[in-house]
Amino acid sequence: MKKGLGRGLDSMIPVSSSVSEKKEKKQADKQDELKEIEIDVSLIDPNGDQPRKKFDEDELLELSESIKQHGVIEPVILAKRGKRYEMIAGERRWRAAKKAGLKKIPAVIRDYTEKEIMEISLIENIQRQDLNPIEEARAYNTLLKAYNMKQDELAERISKSRTAITNSLRLLKLDERVMKMVEDGMLSEGHARTLLGISDKDIQYETAYKVFDEKLSVRETEKLVKKLAEDKEPDDKKDGMSESEQRAYESYENKIKDYIGSKVSIHAGKNGKGKIEISYYSLEELERISDLILS
């Protein structure tokens, strides 16, 4: 029986020192990637594409107190950027560590592409439930557009259903002011999705504020949106009114609305008569409008 060669090709074929050095360096770099090291907190920069934009100061303070007592238990993940490092995962821990007065923080260095960095940041935040609904929707939107991904592909990569991705992205169709209310925790995702049934941005915002002010449930919000749809006039054009007359009425509505700061509707009747309707959604708003008119 023949004996096996017992030696690999590397031992039989001479390898130049430069090739050998490169191979050793690559292996060493790979080992460094897996090694936990201490990094100066001042050398770390936040990830500009980090999905999470808001960090609760009270939570950071609470975490910083814990870090003072027990240290940073789980290392942050960083990417090398010249002489500095970019945060991939663990920005909350890094911020809290700085608050706690730490000079260094345990870290693991990884060599990821920009796409991988964003995916990891998104997944980490979703798993920790750190993102508000708008931040999550914007992160999905960025991944889809920046990397030409399909919703199915994104759903698979982050272990979400395609329906969840689609419903999340719909929130970006909300009025900017309503999105800000969701970001600030004034409205839940359920409330926000219900308000998508209102196409007029001003009415959507006014309704959102009514929901917040009166602390309406999602079910109550659904009923309110349905009622608004039923009460809505079929169209703004009045029978027998010319386009110039319509523009004149719209101009008056806009002027009064800009002054009052609330929705205004002018209902034209016959012989130049009609009525002006001013909407309000709380007693405080009624008082404000009343003071404006009386002044």
pLDDT on residue 187? 94
Q: Do the Cβ atoms of 232 and 263 come closer than 8 Å?
A: no
pLDDT on residue 189? 92
Domains of the chain in sequence order: 25-112 (3.90.1530.30), 175-233 (no CATH), 243-294 (no CATH)
Burial class (CB in 10 A: 0-12, 13-18, 19+), 136: buried
Give the chain's length: 295
Which DSSP category does 42 fall into? G
What one-character-per-residue DSSP string does 140-207 give? HHHHHHHTT--HHHHHHHTT--HHHHHHHHHGGGS-HHHHHHHHTTSS-HHHHHHHTT--SHHHHHHH
* Average pLDDT for 32-40: 73
Share of the chain above pLDDT 70, in %: 78
Which helix (H) or strand (E) segment holds residue 219: the answer is helix 218-231
Measured CA to CA, the distance from residue 227 to residue 147 in angstroms comes to 42
For residue range 218-258, what is the model confidence (pLDDT) as tens digits?
999 999 998 888 766 544 445 566 777 777 878 888 788 77
pLDDT on residue 16? 42
For residue range 63-77, what is the model confidence (pLDDT) as tens digits?
888 888 888 888 888
Residue 8 in this model has a pLDDT that exceeds 50: no
Burial class (CB in 10 A: 0-12, 13-18, 19+), 163: exposed
- Residue ranges of E strands in 12-93: 36-40, 44-45, 76-81, 84-89
Query: How is residue 88 written in tokens?
Result: 């991939």
Task: Select the more confidently predicted residue: 207 or 59.
Answer: 207
* Average pLDDT for 138-151: 82
How confident is the prediction for the chain on average, in pLDDT?
77
pLDDT on residue 243? 74
Q: Do the Cβ atoms of 153 and 171 come closer than 8 Å?
A: no
The one catalytic residue among 91, 119, 135, 206 = 91
Q: Is 24 designated active site?
A: no
Residue 82 in this model has a pLDDT that exceeds 50: yes
* Average pLDDT for 7-20: 38
132: Cα separation from own chain's centroid: 6
* Average pLDDT for 198-202: 89
pLDDT on residue 191? 95
